[in-house]
Amino acid sequence: MNLQNARALVTGGSEGIGLGIARALKARGSQVAIMGRNEDKLNRAAKELGVVALQGDVSREGDVKRVVASFIEAFGGIDILVNNAGYGYFAPLTELDRAEFEKLFATNVTGAMLMAREVAPHFIAQGGGHLINISSTSGLSGGKNSTAYSGSKFALRGMNECWRAELRPHNVRVTLVNPSEVLTPFFSKVGHEQILSEKKLRASEIADAIVGALEIDDRGFIPEFSVFATNPF
| pLDDT tens readout for residues 147-165 | 999 999 999 999 999 999 9
Full-model pTM: 0.93
Active site residue 149: yes
Confidence at residue 189, expressed as pLDDT on a 0 to 100 scale: 57
Q: Where are the domains of the chain?
A: 7-227
- How far apart are alpha carbons 152 and 105 in whole angstroms? 6
Walk across the sheet containing 7-11 and list its strands.
52-55, 31-36, 7-11, 80-83, 129-134, 172-179, 224-227
Confidence at residue 185, expressed as pLDDT on a 0 to 100 scale: 58
Residues of the chain with pLDDT under 50: 188
- How far apart are alpha carbons 110 and 178 in whole angstroms? 18
| pLDDT tens readout for residues 174-213 | 999 999 988 855 554 555 565 667 888 999 999 999 999 9
Which candidate, 1, 43, 47, 51, places its Cα nearest to that of 27?
A: 51
Topology given in CATH for the domain delimited by 7-227: Rossmann fold (3.40.50)
Catalytic position from the list 149, 163, 186, 221: 149
Confidence at residue 24, expressed as pLDDT on a 0 to 100 scale: 98
* Residue 4 Cα distances to 31, 46, 103, 126, 168, angstroms: 8, 19, 37, 18, 23
